[in-house]
Structures are given as C-alpha cells and as structure tokens.
Amino acid sequence: MRYEKPPKTFDEQIDLLQSRGMVIEDRKAAHHYLSHLNYYRLTAYWLPFEADHDSHTFYPGTNFNAVLNLYVFDRELRLLLLDAIERVEVSLRTQWAYHLAHDYGAHAYLHSAIASKPDWWQRNLDSLQGEIDRADEEFIKHYKRTYTDPPSPPIWAVSEVMSLGVLSKWFTNLKPMHTRTAIAAVYQLDERVLQAFIRHITYIRNLCAHHSRLWNRRLTVTMQLPRTKPADLISNFNPSKDRMIYNTLVMLAWFLDCISPDHHWKTRLQDLIQRHAIDPALMGFPKDYKQRFIWQIVSQTGDA
C-alpha cells in the first residue's frame, strides 16, 4: 500500500485532535507547542488516553495539558538520568584506568594480553585511538608534543576522552578475572553484572542524548539483575518489569550511594514524580517502592 497522507498544518492538527475527543482549552497555546514539539513526538504520550487505538479516539475528558505534562516529565526524567549516568561513567573510567595501570602499567591498553578476544582488542584499540586523535584536550596535546614513545598517552589520560560505549567494549573484552573483580568490587557487584550494566546504561544514555522517550517505554537492551550480592540491593528490583526503566533507576541509585553518599538524586526523582502526578507503575515501579531500602531518604548535607 502506498503512503499518500498529506502533511497537516498546525491548525489542522489541532482540529484533528479535537475531532477525536481531546479537550484543548487554549488553542493558541496548543498551536505554539505543536509548532515546537512535533505532533508525531507527542503521539507516544497520548497513547494511554486513547479509548480505541485503531480510530485514535480519546477517553472523555482527555486534556491536551495532561499529555503535555507527561512530555515535560519525560524530558526532565532524561536530564535527571544524564546527571546520574555522568557520575557513574566518570567513576567507571577512573576505576578502569586505575586498576589496569597498577596491574599492567601506564599503557596497559596497548597490550593485547589483557584481551579475551585479540581481534576485539584491535577493533577496540582502533576506536579508542580515534577518540584520542579527535580529542581537543590540552593534556593530550601536551603528551603528543613531549613524548614519542609510546605515541599514545597513558591510560589515566586516555580514560578522560573515552566514551561510555567504548569503555563498555573494553570492559567486556577484559580478560584478567582479578582485574574485572577488583573493579566490580568497588560497587559490591559481580563482574558479570557490572559488564551488563555498563552496556545497558550506554543504551540508556544514547536514548537520553537523542531525546527519546523513557516513560512507559519497553527497553530493548536490558541488564542482568544481581542474584547473590549485594543483599541490600537485590530486594529492590522488580524482575517482572525487566524492560521498564524502574530497574535502571534502582541500579543508578545504588551506584550514586557508592560514589556520592550525600547526593540528592533520589529525592529529586521522587519529587519529579510527585510534582507531575505521574503513575510510577507505567515505569515498572512496584506499589511498595517507597518502603524499599534503596528509596529510603537519609539525612543529606551535600551533593557531588
């Protein structure tokens, strides 16, 4: 079947929504938002309000402002996740560089012996070298001006220009078990769980960076849930909702408790949910989540 639907003006989009039963109290405001927020982008946020998806008719009383509220919540949620992922990424890069440097030297990443799959190591090295070559950091330029052997900077400098995606590939291909275990132990996790989580948050970070929806989304790349340790963490997950964002939020909260014990991230998350009157079940939250250990808010005096 050939696609032959013509484009609609913003006013025609408003008329269409009203014809399907959506209440639009301020037509001028709706025109403004639709002119800056693609109609198609908003469709995912009014899906729960549809009484019939085939005809796209809405439940009585469905208000455009309620749809917009979900969109704004989701945007703020993405920013909150980016804040957490930044801190986790910096911590992971630090631990990766520290343990490899102390176990295998300042240029450990140049040694294929640390790789479980040498062909992967070469591809990862090529990717990392590309990031080094593109880097505009003064410490990279200083090394290249000052040293010729090896031609690439030490691992603690390289880690500062390494993307999360490349870090995920390096950790996945890291062979020495004692090094993998030592890095994971910083977060009290099994090394396999850590490996899966780094891959998972790379995917989540990319969703956030591309302004994709997190609220009420079925995630494609899931993470491995801890089974044996740490005991305090395991009981906080919701295994029946493994493709929703809730389990990701639990793990990020755990990491931030390890990295920055005085953080306010959990408070900000719960305030965001409350301020927008969001049903957390649509993100995989269990009914009793506030009573679970990870979400208990303790006295906090600072933020890192």
Can you give the pLDDT at residue 300?
47
Q: Are 216 and 285 in contact, with CB atoms under 8 Å apart?
A: no
What is the domain count for the chain? 2
Q: Give yes or no: residues 81 and 53 share one domain.
A: no
Q: What is the pLDDT along the chain (304 residues), one digit of tens a residue?
A: 999 989 999 999 999 999 999 999 999 999 999 999 999 999 999 999 999 999 999 999 999 999 999 999 999 999 999 999 999 999 999 999 999 999 999 999 999 999 999 999 999 999 999 999 999 999 999 999 999 999 999 999 999 999 999 999 999 999 999 999 999 999 999 999 999 999 999 999 999 999 999 999 999 999 999 999 899 999 999 999 999 999 999 999 999 999 998 889 999 999 999 999 999 999 999 999 999 999 987 644 445 4
Can you give the pLDDT at residue 218?
96
Q: Give yes or no: residues 29 and 170 share one domain.
A: no
Alpha carbon separation from 4 to 12, 185, 236 (Å, rounded): 17, 57, 49
Q: Where in the sequence is the domain holding 55, given as residue range(s)?
A: 10-62
Q: Give yes or no: residues 57 and 175 share one domain.
A: no
Can you give the pLDDT at residue 303?
53
Q: Give yes or no: residues 79 and 22 share one domain.
A: no
Amino acid 150 reads P
Residue 300 lies in a domain: no
Residue 303 lies in a domain: no
End-to-end CA distance of the chain: 55
Can you give the pLDDT at residue 297?
77
Give the separation between CA 250 and CA 92, rounded to whole angstroms: 17
Q: Quick check: pTM over 0.85?
A: yes
Residue 304 lies in a domain: no
Q: Give yes or no: residues 102 and 197 share one domain.
A: yes
Give the separation between CA 118 and CA 39, rounded to whole angstroms: 48
Q: Give yes or no: residues 41 and 75 share one domain.
A: no
211 phi-psi bin (left φ>0, alpha ψ -120 to 50, beta other): left
Amino acid 185 reads A
Exposed e or buried b for every residue in 188-227, given b needs 16+ CB within 10 A? ebbbebbbbbbbbbbbbbebbeeeebbbbbebeebbbbbe
pLDDT digits (tens, 9 = 90+) for 73-92: 999 999 999 999 999 999 99
Give the separation between CA 188 and CA 233, rounded to whole angstroms: 10
Q: Give yes or no: residues 121 and 239 share one domain.
A: yes
Q: Give yes or no: residues 223 and 75 share one domain.
A: yes
